[in-house]
């Protein structure tokens, strides 16, 4: 009975406490909601409080739903970002200053002349690589003593032929070519390459190198005649007498003027037209003579010229001794 009575008491107490417990459980959500809702004073204080730039706003229920939906949806692979091309550094373009001018790599006169020597012996400057400048002028720039029509050797005296002159001292000449058609050395070399050698148009660099080389070709030293053309004190008596005839009765100095022994103008001496007055320097080694090589010996050339001058000026003819002296002087130049 005692145990049964105790159970009855506990059961009664439990029944009495059940309404209170139910009340507590039913009001708990409202209590928590009230506790979480800020008061008006708290809301005003929060409005005046500075907000941190780093604080993240709490997500709304709609945002939370979208986040859940996105997480559940299958993810598409992202395309790799397009590579951004690095800006290219502009490349400076070469500038051409003019057509004539200096080669791209600036060379000294010695280097340019050395390049010109190679070109002087280069047959590719001619059509079909048949000849080089050295074919007619050897590698020393002198003459091979032949007469040409184009690149073909013809008999001396052929009216269409052109006798090969020496290039020694060419930098001192006034005009160039047997007909004086070239005003500059560049024009003369170009004309020989294109017209006679039938080669391609030479570049300005090629012409500059060839000009630099041929300008180094000087006359050999002369022990009897000074640079101004007058005889040295120790020159032979025949050379001294020949000089007096040269500037006197022979009339040679009228056209072959000292000290270059040539003249810029062209003259007609009865050989088939007007031709340039050639220099007489190194004349002893340049036979045959005149533009077509008509005269084989220097003495015959001197005689022809004196006779032409005497006829033109109505002066006297030379004696044989005078021809010998004048030939000695001209041969010493």
Q: How many domains does the chain have?
A: 2
- Residue 42: in which H helix or E strand, if any? helix 40-48
Inside any domain, residue 120: yes
CA distances 178 to 115, 192, 250, 265, 275, Å, are 27, 12, 23, 11, 6
User: Residue 298: how many CB atoms within 10 A of its CB?
Assistant: 21
- Of 193, 218, 243, the domain-final residue: 218
Question: Which of 276, 291, 278 lies closest to 333, judged by CA?
Answer: 278
Taking phi over 0 as left and psi of -120 to 50 as alpha, with beta for the rest, 78 belongs to beta
Question: Is the domain of 141 the same as that of 245?
Answer: no
Q: Which residue has the higher pLDDT, 104 or 12?
A: 104
Question: Is the domain of 329 the same as that of 229?
Answer: yes
Inside any domain, residue 266: yes
pTM above 0.75, yes or no: no
Residue 242 has pLDDT above 70, yes or no: yes
Inside any domain, residue 42: no
Inside any domain, residue 158: yes
User: Residue 17: how many CB atoms within 10 A of its CB?
Assistant: 10
Cα 6 to its chain centre, rounded Å, is 125
- pLDDT at residue 166, as a whole number: 94
- Of 218, 244, 262, the domain-final residue: 218
- pLDDT at residue 172, as a whole number: 85
**118-157: pLDDT as tens digits:** 999 999 999 999 999 999 998 799 999 999 999 999 999 9
> Helix (H, G, I), strand (E, B), or coil: what is residue 327?
helix
Phi/psi of residue 284, nearest 5 degrees? -60, -25
266 burial via Cβ count (<10 Å: 0-12, 13-18, 19+): middle
249: β partners: none
- Of 160, 184, 218, the domain-final residue: 218
CATH at residue 157: 1.10.760.10
Q: Which residue has the higher pLDDT, 71 or 225?
A: 225
Parent domain of 234: 220-333
- Sequence-distant (6+) residues with CB within 8 A of 247 are 253, 258
Question: Is the domain of 333 the same as that of 227?
Answer: yes
Question: Is the domain of 130 the same as that of 193?
Answer: yes
Question: Is the domain of 204 the same as that of 256?
Answer: no
For residues 61-86, give the mean pLDDT: 44
CA distances 84 to 78, 79, 81, 89, Å, are 17, 15, 9, 15
Which residue pairs, CB below 8 angstroms and at least 24 apart, start in 202-209? Answer: 202/125, 204/99, 204/100, 204/101, 204/103, 205/103, 205/104, 206/119, 206/125, 208/102, 208/103, 208/112, 209/103, 209/112, 209/113, 209/115, 209/116, 209/119
Question: Is the domain of 139 the same as that of 213?
Answer: yes
Inside any domain, residue 260: yes
Contact of 153 with 288, CB cutoff 8 Å? no
Residue 57 has pLDDT above 70, yes or no: no
How many CA atoms lie within 13 Å of 41's alpha carbon, on the beta-carbon side?
A: 0
**183-226: pLDDT as tens digits:** 999 999 999 999 999 999 999 999 999 999 999 999 888 899 99
Question: Is the domain of 199 the same as that of 229?
Answer: no
- pLDDT at residue 203, as a whole number: 96
Inside any domain, residue 326: yes
- pLDDT at residue 106, as a whole number: 84
The Cα–Cα gap between 188 and 133 comes to 12
- Residue 70: in which H helix or E strand, if any? helix 61-72
- Give the mean pLDDT of the chain: 78
Weakest mean pLDDT among 55-64, 123-132, 302-311: 55-64
Residue 163 has pLDDT above 60, yes or no: yes
Contact of 271 with 163, CB cutoff 8 Å? no
């Amino acid at each position: 009975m005692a145990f049964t009575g105790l159970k009855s008491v506990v059961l009664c107490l439990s029944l009495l406490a059940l309404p209170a417990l139910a009340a507590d459980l039913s009001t708990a959500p409202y209590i928590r909601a009230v506790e979480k809702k800020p008061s008006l004073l708290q809301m005003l204080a929060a409005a005046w409080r500075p907000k941190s730039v780093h604080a993240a706003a709490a997500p709304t229920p709609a945002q939370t739903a979208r986040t859940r939906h996105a997480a559940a949806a299958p993810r598409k692979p992202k395309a790799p970002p397009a590579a951004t091309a690095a800006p290219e550094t502009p490349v400076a373009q070469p500038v051409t200053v003019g057509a004539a001018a200096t080669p791209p790599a600036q060379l000294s006169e010695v280097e340019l002349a050395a390049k010109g020597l190679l070109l002087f012996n280069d047959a590719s400057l001619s059509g079909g690589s048949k000849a080089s400048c050295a074919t007619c002028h050897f590698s020393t720039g002198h003459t091979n003593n032949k007469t040409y029509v184009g690149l073909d050797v013809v008999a001396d005296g052929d009216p269409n032929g052109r006798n090969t002159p020496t290039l020694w001292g060419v930098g001192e000449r006034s005009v160039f070519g047997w007909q004086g058609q070239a005003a500059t050395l560049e024009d003369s070399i170009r004309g020989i390459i294109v017209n006679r050698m039938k080669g391609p148009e030479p570049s300005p660099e090629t012409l500059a190198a060839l000009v630099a080389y041929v300008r180094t070709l000087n006359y050999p030293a002369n022990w009897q005649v000074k640079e101004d053309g007058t005889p040295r004190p120790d020159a032979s008596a025949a050379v001294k007498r020949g000089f007096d005839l040269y500037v006197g009765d022979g009339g040679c100095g009228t056209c072959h003027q000292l000290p270059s022994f040539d003249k810029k103008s062209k003259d007609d001496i009865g050989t088939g037209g007007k031709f340039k007055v050639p220099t007489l320097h190194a004349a002893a080694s340049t036979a045959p003579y005149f533009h077509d090589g008509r005269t084989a010996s220097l003495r015959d050339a001197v005689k022809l010229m004196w006779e032409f001058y005497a006829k033109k000026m109505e002066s006297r003819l030379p004696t044989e001794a005078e021809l010998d002296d004048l030939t000695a002087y001209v041969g010493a130049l």
